[in-house]
Chains A and B, each alone.
Chain A
Amino acid sequence: MSSFPYIHISCPCHEDRPQTLTIDSARPISPSKSPSKRDFNFSPIAPNSPTKGRSLLAGFTPSVSFDAGNLNLDSDDEEELTDEDDDNNFDPRDPRSAFSLFPIENLLYCEDCHQIRCPRCVQDEIVCWYCPSCLFEVPSSTVKSDGNRCTRNCYLCPVCTALLAVVPVHHSSGHSSSDHPTGPFNLFCSHCHWTTSDLTPPIQLEKPTSISAQLSKLTHSPRDNEFIRLKQHYAQQLGNAQEDFTNSPAALTRLMGLYTGLGSGSGGHGGSRKGRGVKKLEMKEVDRPREVSEDQELDIIERMAVEGLEASKCIVALATHGRKKADGYGKATTAKQRLAQPHDPRFLSDLTPTAVLLRTKRSKRCRACRHILVKPEAKVQTTRFRIRLVALNYIPSLTIKRLDSSITWDNLTPHKTHRFLLTVTNPLFDPISVSLLTPRRTPGTAFASRVTILCPEFDVGANTDVWDDALMSTKPASAVPSGVKTPPTTGSFTSFSKDPKMSTVYEQKRNYTSVVIEVVPPEIPDTRDTRIRDERLLEIPIYVRVEFEAEVDRDDEEGGGGKPSHSGASGGAVQRERVEYSYWCVVGVGRVGDVVEGVVASEPNTPVRTPVGTPVKAPRTPAAMRTPLRQVRS
């Protein structure tokens, strides 16, 4: 997998089942343990929240409510309870999760559905075909008739896949400055020095241009004839049916009927279909078996025997004369080389140059509402897009850094408190309020790590440009987001941070805010079992919840809200509306290493007391630095 650290976002297409979430640890830490410990019940019921929220993630809008009953629990019972409820959190280890987790760069955003869209929930449509080597566009009609490979002069080396160059067979010595090199020519690989002259029989071309036409004459094999015959047969079969196999459900039914219809000849269930108006269509397979020439097979066996003999000689030579390289069987093809060629070549001398596969430029549609999310410009060589709704521009992105540079990502120390800096960057033109929730213990494993976000609630400034920023600084502070969230007045969710003393924002700049996250990995034995399940991989699920007030054009409520901008005043009555949305993401922090002697389990949280309303940097020397670990090393 990717190198550490990484942050993957779960696409909402993962959430196709109702679920109840219990999140507990993402709260300001309290030095005195008990009363502030709470459970939050997330229920998928339509939001009745006091904020007139327009849900951005329609399929997954947990409305948060206090479970009052849990407030009165004494601490011992609570611990048990939270452990049991771990199953309800997003579990990065669940085999299903892998399908919906993507880096934010790979996600799109549908403005109409107000949802993240991953490669699984978009539909690709080909805008154009082109050769990745000569960069010429190939019309789709040509692709249909001539196949999906370049028909110009682009060929790859069948041995190493590098691009082949056309070179004259006889190198004219530099003295004669003849203007045009004379033939014959061969194709030459400048990476592994393979040439078409290595083949048996050698392929040499008369002209340095129109390679495809020349090669197709020279390398025409019985298999090509077979392919042409098959193609003709099936084209005819389809032609008889006079069907256009478009993407409609009716066409699909007919297509499915092709083979069941064939079965009906022998008294299958196909008979029942007749009355239903589905046109019965007989599809005849080519039933002739592949012809194998005995002479050819014997020839191959003989050649392999010779190869084997040479191989054994080489091994002897290797043993007796200490030769550096045994190239026995060196003339046989590898599986990769063999599979890349249609004629199943067993020896290097049977390989033929492979034409370059075409590539496509594609536009992408939302599968749910069919709106276009990505539309590249049709010109092959441009990288511009006409439409490009990427999640990067719509949802805040997270990054994680080490606070203590002595942490090695792939060797985290068990029992040690690791501190990381979690940064939330706001791409929107409105300031946002962010809540980060994470299970106290990483779910889905018997070796859970303890995780605490020191300041789970904070504001992130708007993504104004630098000029706006300069203007802002002259204004009173009201426009600038305050460092620490004041005790909330509205919204049941926000009533969560009761103890703002413990909330410390580590760093706050124009449109990003950083907070500290503490991780204490457990001791994980290095057994076969833990290795199979990769228990040492430390992934933390974080639930990101975002709220902001956006200017919304009332006339166009459906379309306008996704990316609210300052210039929203377009005729209609402009109103501020509260928008909230949320998503799960998974932070791949690293891998837990072996136990280091002297590091013992300790109290994970070292709460920082700060005056209200003052953003204060967390201490540069975390408590872990003073643990015996450092003494051992120094």
Chain B
Amino acid sequence: MSQKSEYIQTETGNKVSRKSLIIGSQNIILGGKTIIQADCCIRGDLRRLVPQGQNAAAVAIAVGRYCFLSKSCLLRPPSKTYRGQFSYYPMKLGDHVFVGEGSVVEAAVIGSYVNIGKNCVIGKFSIIKDCVRIEDGTVIAPNSVIPSFSSVEGHPGIVVEELPETAAEMLERELNHQ
């Protein structure tokens, strides 16, 4: 029964492990029914710098519904120096996103029905569209764009296969079987 008390359930049905590390939770949005496992780290504190006087951009990380963040994965908003100023930029995850154990995500946008394997690195500002599978150990180079219906593998990750029309069902089922 220790398993039960490990998770805190939010009003919208998110289950967050007490052993996870969530920093700057006021800048994080969880869509609902999302599971965050132990030793997961979400850096909501790394948010966009805004000039003084303006309202601060509130959201650093937005996560959709039915997502699953496995043990020891890290979500860190991407950063760069633009016009001489270093800043973090927001990160957005869609619905039904699975992030495997030990993966590091610094993407700008991840669509829905995306399955990221174990020990992957999703480079800064990369954009991953809907219905994509990223195999274990893949390194997605910064600024990459991965189009829909792709299976990606390697260092750097390249599209090795086109997923069939049933990709959404397939990836959703894979997520549920985790």
> Given the interface contacts A162-B156, A383-B131, A390-B166, does A190 sit within 8 Å of B145 by beta carbon?
no
B95 shortest CB reach to chain A, Å: 13
Residues of B within 8 A of A190 (CB): 123, 141-143
Chain A proximity mask over B140-165: 1 for CB below 8 Å, otherwise 0: 01111111111000011011000011
> Chain B residues near A176 (CB, 8 Å)?
84
How many A residues have CB within 8 A of the partner chain? 33
Known: A105-B164, A392-B166. A174 touches B123 (CB 8 A): no
Residues of B within 8 A of A160 (CB): 155-156
Structural contact, B156 and A191, CB atoms closer than 8 A = yes
Contact B158 A383 (CB under 8 A): no
Interface of A is mostly: loop
Q: How far is the CA of A162 from the CA of B142 in the complex (A)?
A: 9
In angstroms, Cα B164 to Cα A82, docked, is: 39
Taken together as a complex, chains A and B put the C-alpha atoms of A160 and B155 apart, in Å, by: 8
Known: A105-B164, A133-B145, A190-B143. A392 touches B169 (CB 8 A): yes
The answer for the CA separation of A174 and B123 in the assembled complex, in Å, is 23
Contact among B81, B156, B167 with A174 in the assembled complex (CB-CB below 8 Å): B81
Interface status of B29 (Cβ within 8 A of chain A): no
Contacts of A130 in B (CB 8 A): 147
Interface size class, chain B: 20 to 34
A175 to B170 CA separation, bound complex (whole angstroms):
51
Cβ-defined contact, B84 with A175, below 8 A:
yes
Chain B residues touching A, majority SS: loop
Say whether B156 contacts A161, CB under 8 Å.
yes
In A163-181, the 8 Å CB interface with B consists of 163, 165, 172, 174-179
Contact B148 A383 (CB under 8 A): yes
The CA-CA distance from A134 to B83 in the complex, in Å, is: 23
User: Which of B83, B123, B144, B159 meets A179, CB within 8 Å?
Assistant: B83
**CB–CB A134/B147 < 8 A:** no
* A163 x B145 contact (CB < 8 A): yes
A383, B149: Cβ atoms under 8 Å? yes
Using a CB–CB cutoff of 8 Å, the interface residues on chain B facing chain A are 81, 83-85, 123, 129-131, 139, 141-150, 155-156, 158-159, 164-170
The 9 A-B residue pairs with the shortest CB-CB distance, nearest first, are A162-B141, A191-B141, A162-B156, A177-B84, A132-B147, A190-B142, A105-B166, A191-B156, A174-B84
Chain A residues with a Cβ under 8 A of chain B: 105-106, 108, 130, 132-135, 160-163, 165, 172, 174-179, 189-192, 359, 374, 376, 381, 383, 385, 388, 390, 392
**9 A-B interface contacts by CB (under 8 A):** A105-B166, A162-B156, A163-B145, A165-B143, A190-B142, A383-B130, A383-B131, A390-B164, A392-B166
